[in-house]
A and B are shown apart, each in its own frame.
Chain A
Amino acid sequence: MSDKILKALIQLFAIIGKPHEIHGSASRSTVALFLKQALNSEQVNEYLELYDFFLKTYDNKSDGEKRIKKTAVSSVKVLVICEQINEALTQKQKILVLVRLIEYIHASDEVDEQEFEFINTVYSSFRISDEEFEILFNLITQHDAKDNEALLIASEKNNNSYTKSKLLKIDHLQGELRVVHVASVDIYFVKYFGVLELSLNGISISDFRIYQLNNGSSIRGSKIQPIYYSDIISCFLNNSFKYPISFKVKQIEYNFSDGKKGLHPLSFEENSGNLIGIMGGSGAGKSTLLNILNGNAIPSAGSVWINGINLHTDKAKLAGVIGFVSQDDLLIEDLSVYQNLHFNAQLCFSNWSDEKIVEKVNQTLNDLGLYEIRDLKVGSPLDKIISGGQRKRLNIALELIREPGVLFVDEPTSGLSSRDSEIIIDLLKTLALKGKVVFVVIHQPSSDIFKVFDKLLILDKGGFPIYLGNPVDAVSHFKSAVNYLNPNESECILCGNVNPEQIFNIIETRVLDENGMPTNERKISPKEWNAIFIKEQSTEENDGSIIYIPIDQTYKKPGLLKQFTVFVKRDVLAKISNTQYLLINALEAPVLAFILAFMTRYQLPGQSYTFYNNKNLVAYIFMSVIVALFLGLTVSAEEIFKDRKIRKRETFLNLSKGAYLLSKIFILFIISALQTLFFTAIGNYIIGFQEMFLEYWLMLFAVSLFANALGLNISSAFKSAVTIYIIIPFLIIPQLLLSGLLVKFDELNPSLAAKSIVPKSGEIMASRWAFEALVVNQFKNNSYENKIYAFEKEIINASYAKGLWHNKMIELLEKKDAVSQQIVINELKAAGFNGFDAQQNIDVEKAKDFLSKIKKNNVDIYTRYNELRDHYFEKQASNEKLKNDLEINKMQFHNARIEDLAKNSRPLEDGIYAEAGWLHPNENNIYFNASNKHQIRAHFYAPQKFIAGKYYNTYFVNLLVILTMTIGCLIALYFDLLKILIDSFQNIAFKIKLRKG
């Protein structure tokens, strides 16, 4: 409230004030009380002085008869002030102001005419309805209650003299407790007319004042049962549900996969407004039941119907109707309380405006008492920032905000203080009263909480339902079943407390042995309890008819794009607020790049650094690829896993998995793009790459993308972080080994090895495609080599054809074994030879002639291109500048080790070999195009690859392959293929174990 408004209010108080009551008067204390709500004590005094000042000022101008005139004059002033207030205060605040003003004029004695006129001016200019004013005015000023629909009278006896008013019977309550509901702003005010010492939220209630009732408030007294907010509003809300919910359970049963019964047949029906408690010892099947009821598990028999829709077969129609608050925290730890709720709201109310959503979020935060902590980060359970009770409330808020028709809450009070527990249960009760059905699994509830439930369902060990009915009656039910004394006495006669423990003591009573010691055997087995239950149930069999009732459509799932943007925003905010994560991810790539490049920056002793002479360039390129893989994997490996709890909650919203995954991919891809960009920029700068930046970055980026996709797969398929990090080496090590550098593909275990073409084990490694592409690109396209590569390629191809190949062919032509013949036939056919006779035998003479022609041709090609090449170099050597440039180019752009690698010199081996019926050159891989016998696949370091009848550059092809692999991984991710695979393995393993066991 601003200073201006306060002053205006003080003036209002002063205008109507009575000067002779300045000090110690009731009016003055009302002003003080009002001020205390908004200000600290020092400021209160300041404003009180102001009040006194105004009071005197107005008083000086008037005495006796002039008072009437004064009031008339001041009513103009009042109007002006009220207009001021109208502009600054919300309706809710104005109601509060009005209440204080009424109290103020009523403080000393009866309200006189001027005062009444004054208050009339105020409320009408505040635009408060006559009815609401009247009922508030009556509540404050009148001792006798006036019958009204907005009034609740709570008293000891059933007062039948009221017809419209709501009545609430409270035993031992002397006098009356009156509650007024101001419907326009949904506020409740309470006033007590009586002599008992009562307290509202711990503050004692004085009988002449009125109090506002907030969510979670309770009124207590030494002799009465606590009166909760939910008790009060239930009187107002009763049976006026806009969208009633009917929840029917018909003979549901559940069997575990190993055949054991998890839940025995159970039927019941619940309607709007009920809060149902589910109790039972551990292993009684509470969670199983909850999972069936919320649709997560499919019952082995029976069905669950919500408003006439089968929950398990028609789930999509019930999108958003069911809410589930699990026992675990399902919060995004790196986001604030507000953000958690806000993003959730955005996913629930796509048809709402942003302002409306913000308002709704704030209101929910207010309702749950979380408004003050809305900007705090949630934090992890180990690194707590908000308290356990607040966490729980926030968890509930996340479900509550979209007002699901049926809400399931799993042990909301465990680990909370009794006060926090009461607040939460009251909250759930309020929700139920608003027309929902709320199921709560609860452990050891206090007597007060226990009584709040409308119904209680008790399950016994092995999934036997043994009680369903009024909670307080439960005690007498079990007592009478075991023939206790006075079974009808369900609560303590003195204090009125119910002890829920007593129920379980009866259920689990043990048989005593001869020494009077309890044995492990139960007196009455779960089955027997169940039999008693069934017997009683049968008498009140429900009709089982299924009627369709329209469902509340407040929940509106956003479109894919909206979901995507919300997911992205949420994830980005969470990541940004996690400084550690941010820092590590931002620094990882540059630091690794620096370490790697700095360490491998070799220079010849005593000479300055030249790119050409760096012996470690191959290692650098190889490590870059591995780093890109690592970066991509580590950044993604935990992504989905981390979100799995939130995902679980969001399954009830039927949100798009595609949009979620896409948001993950989108963010990860951006992170990877930046990481690889930093890496390439820093690493390549240090090591001395002066060109092909884009090619390096793009390739590393692609590798990172692939790793992202791979990481997302494992993060969605595995169930713990440890497993995920154990899996990473399994993914990285083959990538290291089969990249083509550490182990040559033809020197692998013979069952895997291949030479003329990269073996399949290598083809599935992204590292091999990336490394090959980078090496081939670096060698072939650098500013030095790109001028001579074309010549050299021709020279070497011709040299091979006229030399090694020709001689080998002549040699094989003479050999008559099948293998040699096959090779000769293959090679000759491919070269265009057609001198085969009718039996497909080779005419040796014709073949020799053909070969010599080929040789001749290649000799010419060889000579010609050698000349062209020499010509180029001679020209370069013709003047000093060109010569210098050539040398500089070579030193700056070309690298000796890369050249060695790409030419893959194999001293001491034959320059030609036969594999799979064909001849292949053993060296100079970089100069021989891929064979057109395969699509895409080729020998390592092939400069060009064959796809669908055309040759494309290796860099381009390999990039495409990696991107295709990435897309493949993403498809697998979308369809959970890895998870399905792992699950089926586990099933097999489980079955084997069963058979052995």
Chain B
Amino acid sequence: MNNSKKILLLGATISTVILTSCGGNKETETPAADTTAKAAAPAPASTVDEMVDFKFHYLTANIPSPMELVDALPKAGIAFSKDVLNVTENESKYNTSLQKAINFGIYSVDMAYLTTNEEYSLVKGYLNTSRNLAKSLDLTETFDKVVGNRLTQNSENKDSLKKVIDEAYYEVDNYMRNNERALAATQMLTGSWLESQFITLSLIKDVAKNEKNAMLFDKIFEQKRHLESLVSLLKEYEKEKAFKPVIDQIYGLNNQYNSMKVDDASNSVFLNKLAASVARIRNGLVK
């Protein structure tokens, strides 16, 4: 297996892992069960009750992988553009957990987009960046387990990609379940959803609908429903001071998506407006 293929496989795997992992988080432990923690430790902000936990599990299951959306772009004949990506140099600007989590989601989608367009030379840089953020987010172990295995495996079978994704999915899902990371997972999901919207809308806002790309416009319309799920998930985190401004912006965006009719999804004027709103939120988060 040559290097570029390896990287392609790798990129695809990671993106998938990261993105799908968001749907599998589950909080099982309640504060009451915490008997050994130091008495002085404040109750973790991310502790949610069982209802929230259920909601998270349920809702994330209903949001399809953002990878699916960017995966559709080359099939729809949309040419690759480097400009829609978040540059790796921005990584050093992310200080807080929130910034890191959101941008981890964003970079993951960028990586998926690069992989699906077979832009191997760029994947490497994003891989490093993602790893650094994963490290900061305490996801190193999971990240490396997937990445490390894939690089050393001598798989030449393209069909094994699916298998790898599944494997990795369970790996990360398992990790998240056991590590009380619902908040970070939600933030990542928010970031990756936004980035998938940003890339897609930026690229197709001025493209005329045709037979080949019709399904892309259909997918845009479907986002209305997915955003609904995301919003109800975010409602649980309105108490998070740092996260709140982002949540509010997503609410605003939700209103815009809600007003979208079937025809609007292929209406250049509407799409441009939508793209501008998405870009504003997304650019605010990456800078």
Contact = CB atoms under 8 A, between A and B. Distances in A.
Interface in A423-460: none
B148 A853 contact: no
Contacts of B97: 866, 869-870
B141 A803 contact: yes
B202 to A, nearest CB: 24
B92 A874 contact: no
A896 interface: yes
B98 A860 contact: no
Contacts of A870: 96-98, 242
B92 A859 contact: no
Contact of A856 (B34, B42, B135): B34
Contacts of B147: 907-908
Contacts of B44: 859-860, 863
A905 B138 contact: no
A857 B141 contact: no
B141 A860 contact: no
Interface in A835-888: 852-853, 856-857, 859-864, 866-867, 869-870, 873-874, 876-877, 886
B151 interface: yes
A910 B141 CA distance: 8
B241 A911 contact: no
Contacts of A890: 92
Given A870-B96, A870-B98, A874-B96, A908 B144 contact: yes
Given A803-B141, A853-B36, A907-B147, A860 B41 contact: yes
B32 interface: no
A827 to B, nearest CB: 18
B128 interface: yes
A905 B131 contact: yes
Contacts of A907: 128, 131, 144, 147
B140 interface: yes
A852 B179 CA distance: 12
B180 interface: yes
A911 B44 CA distance: 26
Contacts of A911: 140-141, 144
A230 B182 CA distance: 109
A867 B96 CA distance: 9
Contacts of B46: 863
B41 A862 contact: no
A799 B138 contact: yes
A609 to B, nearest CB: 16
Contact of B148 (A803, A867, A886, A909): A909
Interface residues of B, number: 30
Given A856-B34, A857-B36, A907-B131, A864 B41 contact: yes
B259 interface: no
Contacts of B92: 612, 890, 896
A441 to B, nearest CB: 78
B285 to A, nearest CB: 13
A718 B203 CA distance: 75
Contacts, number: 80
Nearest to A802: B179
Contacts of A799: 138
Nearest to A855: B36
A865 to B, nearest CB: 11
A923 B97 CA distance: 20
Given A857-B36, A859-B180, A860-B38, A873 B95 contact: yes
A857 B37 contact: yes
Size bin of chain A's contact surface: 35 or more
A911 B151 CA distance: 16
B241 A861 contact: no
Nearest to A908: B148
A853 B35 CA distance: 8
A807 interface: yes
B51 interface: no
Contacts of A862: 138
Interface in B169-213: 179-180
B1 interface: no
Interface in B14-52: 34, 36-38, 41-42, 44-46
A804 interface: yes
B135 A905 contact: yes
Contacts of A860: 34, 37-38, 41, 44
Contacts of B132: 905
Contact of A807 (B96, B141, B241): B141
Contacts of A803: 138, 140-141, 179
Interface string B233-267: 00000000110000000000000000000000000
A556 to B, nearest CB: 71
A861 B144 contact: no
A156 to B, nearest CB: 108
Contacts of A804: 140-141
B151 A908 contact: yes
A808 B143 CA distance: 16
B215 to A, nearest CB: 37
Contacts of B128: 907
A857 to B, nearest CB: 6
A866 B180 CA distance: 13
Contacts of A909: 144, 148
A863 B31 CA distance: 13
A856 B180 CA distance: 11
Contacts of B36: 852-853, 856-857
A612 B91 CA distance: 13
Nearest to B242: A874
A426 B246 CA distance: 105
Nearest to A874: B242
Most A CB within 10 A of own CB, among B98, B141, B180, B242: B141
Contacts of B138: 795, 799, 803, 862
B213 to A, nearest CB: 36
A863 B181 CA distance: 10
Contacts of A861: 38, 41
A907 B41 CA distance: 33
Nearest to A853: B36
A864 B180 CA distance: 13
B42 A864 contact: yes
A803 B152 CA distance: 23
A656 to B, nearest CB: 59
Contacts of B148: 908-910
Nearest to B149: A908
A46 B132 CA distance: 98
A911 B142 CA distance: 10
* Residue with the highest number of chain A CB atoms closer than 10 Å, among B34, B42, B96, B98: B96
Contacts of B38: 857, 860-861
A922 to B, nearest CB: 10
A395 B165 CA distance: 90
Interface in B61-116: 92, 95-98
A514 B138 CA distance: 105
Nearest to B91: A896
Interface in A905-923: 905, 907-911, 923
A658 B85 CA distance: 70
A803 B135 CA distance: 12
A867 to B, nearest CB: 7
Contacts of A903: 135
B144 A910 contact: yes
A804 B138 CA distance: 10
Q: Which 7 A-B pairs have the closest CB atoms?
A: A860-B41, A853-B36, A873-B95, A863-B44, A860-B37, A873-B96, A870-B96
Given A804-B141, A864-B42, A903-B135, 5 more contacts: A799-B138, A873-B95, A877-B96, A907-B128, A908-B147
16 contacts: A803-B140, A853-B36, A857-B36, A860-B38, A864-B41, A869-B97, A870-B242, A877-B95, A905-B132, A905-B135, A907-B131, A908-B152, A909-B144, A910-B144, A910-B148, A923-B135
Interface of B: 34, 36-38, 41-42, 44-46, 92, 95-98, 128, 131-132, 135, 138, 140-141, 144, 147-148, 151-152, 179-180, 241-242
